[in-house]
């Protein structure tokens, strides 16, 4: 079974979205659109551009200035509204899946209140799956004192899990996440174990064998998340060498 492998437009944020998708289309059948900056699907011209390619899409949801765990109702509600707009745009683009970051709190003293706010936000977003016909999935976060969901301890309200392999490696929770049945999508990047470095596959310490076998066996989609095209190409070469991508 071939990997359902895509490439994140993160590696091409210095280019327009049509240019990014054009380059990805020569390397893979799938693209993950990072819905930020020049690649935001809230821009009508970008939404129109997605129809020009035969790629299958996933969308990495909004990150900048977004916090669905904010203890301030005005900020939390605004973040949820912006996600709703981006999810609608993603559905209009025919995307299969939309990735949600679970938010943060800057103060440990606010942890429980922020966790309650996060739960409310997820419960408000979850019904959009049925309404718009798109899978929503929450991404696990890297080791941090202020980010949520760095171990499998969150009620996803019927949404899927985006297993970010590099993030889980920084927390020592990769094996725990890999056991979960609700994995809907996987982010693939390597690191030294000391930080969220988004290295090419094979350049760090992560054993990708169990991850890639699980992706194949379960038919899960995945996306390479490197910061540059050179990193993407290195990752593809590593996958070919190990027989996970056709030469």
Q: Which of 70-79, 166-175, 238-247 has the lowest mean pLDDT?
A: 238-247
Per-residue confidence band for 87, with pLDDT thresholds at 50, 70 and 90: very high
pLDDT (mean) for 65-75: 97
pLDDT at residue 243 greater than cutoff 90? no
Give the per-residue pLDDT at 193: 87
Q: How do residues 13-45 score in pLDDT, each as one tens digit?
A: 999 999 999 999 999 999 999 999 999 999 999
Give the per-residue pLDDT at 174: 97
Alpha-carbon distance 241 to 169, whole Å? 23
Alpha-carbon distance 96 to 185, whole Å? 10
Q: How do residues 192-223 score in pLDDT, each as one tens digit?
A: 988 999 999 999 999 999 999 999 999 999 99
Give the per-residue pLDDT at 242: 83
Look at residues 104, 70, 110, 85 and name the one whose alpha carbon lies nearest to residue 35.
85
Give the per-residue pLDDT at 105: 95
All residues at 6 or more sequence positions from 120 whose CB lies less than 8 Å from its CB, including other chains: 76
pLDDT at residue 1 greater than cutoff 60? no
Domain ranges for the chain: 4-8+13-241
Residue 68 gets which letter from DSSP? T
Q: Is 65 helix (H, G, I), strand (E, B) or coil?
A: coil
pLDDT at residue 72 greater than cutoff 90? yes
Number of Cβ atoms within 10 Å of the Cβ of 72? 10
Q: Quick one: the chain helix, strand, coil %, rounded to 5?
A: 40, 15, 40
pLDDT (mean) for 83-88: 98
Contact indicator for 80, 121 with CB cutoff of 8 Å: yes
Give the per-residue pLDDT at 103: 95
**4-8+13-241 belongs to which CATH class?**
alpha beta
Q: How much is the mean pLDDT over the chain?
A: 96
Alpha-carbon distance 214 to 225, whole Å? 18
- H or E element that contains 57: strand 56-60
Residue 219 gets which letter from DSSP? T
Per-residue confidence band for 179, with pLDDT thresholds at 50, 70 and 90: very high
- H or E element that contains 183: strand 183-188
Give the per-residue pLDDT at 247: 61
What sign does the dihedral 184-188-246-230 (CA atoms) show? positive
pLDDT (mean) for 148-174: 97
């Amino acid at each position: 079974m071939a990997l359902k492998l895509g490439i994140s437009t993160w590696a091409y944020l210095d280019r327009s979205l049509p240019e990014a998708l054009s380059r990805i289309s020569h390397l893979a059948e799938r693209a993950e659109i990072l819905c930020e900056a020049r690649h935001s699907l809230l821009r009508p011209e970008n939404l129109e551009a997605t129809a020009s390619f035969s790629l299958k899409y996933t969308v990495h949801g909004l990150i900048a200035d977004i916090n669905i765990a904010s203890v301030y109702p005005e900020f939390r509600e605004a973040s949820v509204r912006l996600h709703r707009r981006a999810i609608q745009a993603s559905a209009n683009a025919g995307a299969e899946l939309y990735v949600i970051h679970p938010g943060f709190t800057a103060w440990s003293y606010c942890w429980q209140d922020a966790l309650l706010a996060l739960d409310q936000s997820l419960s408000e977003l979850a019904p959009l799956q049925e309404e718009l016909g798109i899978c929503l999935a929450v991404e696990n976060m890297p080791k941090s004192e202020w980010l949520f969901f760095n171990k499998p301890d969150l009620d996803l309200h019927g949404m899927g899990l985006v297993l970010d392999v590099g993030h889980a490696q920084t927390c020592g929770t990769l094996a725990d996440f890999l056991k979960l049945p609700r994995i809907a999508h996987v982010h693939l990047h390597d690191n030294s174990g000391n930080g969220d470095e988004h290295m090419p596959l094979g350049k760090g310490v992560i054993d990708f064998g169990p991850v890639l076998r699980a992706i194949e066996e379960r038919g899960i989609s995945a996306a390479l998340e490197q910061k540059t095209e050179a990193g993407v190409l290195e990752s593809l070469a590593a996958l070919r060498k190990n027989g996970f991508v056709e030469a």
